[in-house]
Copies of this chain bind each other. A is one copy, B any other.
């Protein structure tokens, strides 16, 4: 007899990842049948006409086929060639050999230098792990932290469902803490205390708190006081912190700026809170989702625990080398004065400028629709508007109907978590300006007619 559905484990069955859940699955099906779909369900910039930046792609092409250096002289700028040479030497065997389980040391050192320059703090290449995108790093950290079925992980609500899916799959307890929609999705000590107390009262041992900054799906950008408050909360309750900082380049409001948990932690002199920070090549202005590059930096974790993390990474050998080199290009971009710099800076600024415009355009468009309310999109790549639904309808039904009638694919708020009695959806801000207008128009007509 073949495997049957009723033999599957409950952890597998309960795992849900809405970003690729029932609505996107139905959208793919419709697309295969010939419908034109606008995929707003996922932050996948290059699927929305965003061009890859020239510099990392030139470096990667040379690393793939170093013969180009001699066979096609004069094609690539000198600094691209120098970088490719440095990478080939630093990896020792190029892109085709397994690296250390934690990643190529030369690249981990470059990540360390990047953090050092960004934050003005000391780093250690031995505490840096190169990963297949940030997702794999998050999964590694959660695998380490969840030791049994009563271990809880605090997760923002709304959250990016990688967190809920992974905690479910690893059979831990998801402990949600609400973000305050009425105050631009800010995070408050009261909400954290309340959530922790409820969990502790029901016998859960809370092990860690996840923070996404800038927020996904909320777009909120944390300030120093907020981050400091989370660190104090973690210390008081013996929690580790998972800081998802993949949108650190995507900050749109004048006056806001990204601050890392690592920086605030070091400046506070905090040594008793374990920190896992994540970054990725998929977001920011590179948008290289398909290359699966990223890193995890850890702090305040004893060597015997780190050795276990490294062991877990080693079972599937190492992160893909192309992604590792893409990460190198992210953390060591061309500098002013280098031949590639002007084009690099122009491409970077153009992508970020476009995203900033779209964030405003989309939020304003949504707010013009009666029955839809959207906070300002301060960062990241998403809007998470609140919608008024007819009695008895769910946001899943709403999103499914939206898809069927308009071809727009968004993700129901229930996939991210939301206050009971409220309904939302998540959409990326990524469609080009003309498509954003189409999205807003169709949504407006759909929303008015939805009963």
Query: What residues of chain A have their CB less than 8 Å away from a CB belonging to chain B?
Result: 1-5, 7-10, 12-13, 15-17, 19-20, 28, 42, 44-47, 52, 54, 57-58, 60-62, 64-65, 67-68, 71-72, 75, 91-101, 132-133, 135-136, 139, 143-148, 162, 165-166, 169, 207, 238, 240, 271-274, 282, 287-292, 300-302, 304-305, 308, 311-312, 314-323
Flag if A308 contacts B12 (CB, 8 Å): yes
**Known contacts A65-B61, A322-B320; is A46 also within 8 Å of B273 by CB?**
no
Flag if B290 contacts A320 (CB, 8 Å): yes
Flag if A292 contacts B320 (CB, 8 Å): yes
User: In the complex, A68→B272 CA distance in Å?
Assistant: 51
| Chain B residues within an 8 Å CB radius of A169 | 143, 312, 315
Separation in Å of the A28 CB from the closest CB of chain B? 7
Name 7 interchain pairs, CB-CB below 8 A, sorted by A.
A2-B302, A4-B302, A4-B305, A5-B305, A10-B147, A47-B92, A61-B61
Further contacts, 16 of them, CB under 8 A, given A96-B287, A135-B316, A322-B322: A2-B274, A4-B302, A5-B305, A13-B308, A15-B312, A44-B98, A46-B96, A52-B95, A61-B61, A95-B290, A98-B282, A98-B289, A133-B317, A169-B315, A290-B321, A292-B319
Task: Point out the residue from B47, B65, B315 that lies within 8 Å of A97, measured CB to CB.
Answer: B47
Flag if A60 contacts B52 (CB, 8 Å): no
| Chain B residues within an 8 Å CB radius of A315 | 15, 17, 135, 139, 162, 165-166, 169
**Known contacts A273-B2, A322-B322; is A64 also within 8 Å of B57 by CB?**
yes
User: In the complex, A315→B170 CA distance in Å?
Assistant: 13
Separation in Å of the A109 CB from the closest CB of chain B? 13
Separation in Å of the A183 CB from the closest CB of chain B? 31
User: In the complex, A307→B139 CA distance in Å?
Assistant: 21
Flag if B2 contacts A300 (CB, 8 Å): yes
User: In the complex, A302→B5 CA distance in Å?
Assistant: 8
| Chain B residues within an 8 Å CB radius of A96 | 46, 52, 287-291
Separation in Å of the A20 CB from the closest CB of chain B? 4
Flag if A238 contacts B308 (CB, 8 Å): no
Separation in Å of the A110 CB from the closest CB of chain B? 17
| Chain B residues within an 8 Å CB radius of A68 | 61, 68, 72, 75
Kindly list the 9 A-B residue pairs having the minimum CB-CB distance in the complex, ordered from nearest.
A9-B147, A290-B321, A61-B65, A292-B320, A20-B314, A46-B96, A322-B322, A72-B72, A46-B97
| Chain B residues within an 8 Å CB radius of A290 | 91, 93-99, 318, 320-322
**Known contacts A8-B144, A15-B311, A322-B320; is A97 also within 8 Å of B135 by CB?**
no
Task: Point out the residue from B60, B162, B301 that lies within 8 Å of A65, measured CB to CB.
Answer: B60
**Known contacts A291-B322, A316-B139; is A272 also within 8 Å of B9 by CB?**
no
Separation in Å of the A308 CB from the closest CB of chain B? 6
| Chain B residues within an 8 Å CB radius of A91 | 290
Separation in Å of the A130 CB from the closest CB of chain B? 12
Task: Point out the residue from B3, B61, B321 that lies within 8 Å of A291, measured CB to CB.
Answer: B321
| Chain B residues within an 8 Å CB radius of A20 | 101, 311, 314, 317
**Known contacts A46-B94, A132-B292, A291-B95; is A320 also within 8 Å of B323 by CB?**
yes
Flag if B47 contacts A57 (CB, 8 Å): no
User: In the complex, A96→B289 CA distance in Å?
Assistant: 5
User: In the complex, A120→B57 CA distance in Å?
Assistant: 39
**Known contacts A93-B47, A97-B47, A317-B135; is A272 also within 8 Å of B2 by CB?**
yes
Flag if B58 contacts A65 (CB, 8 Å): yes
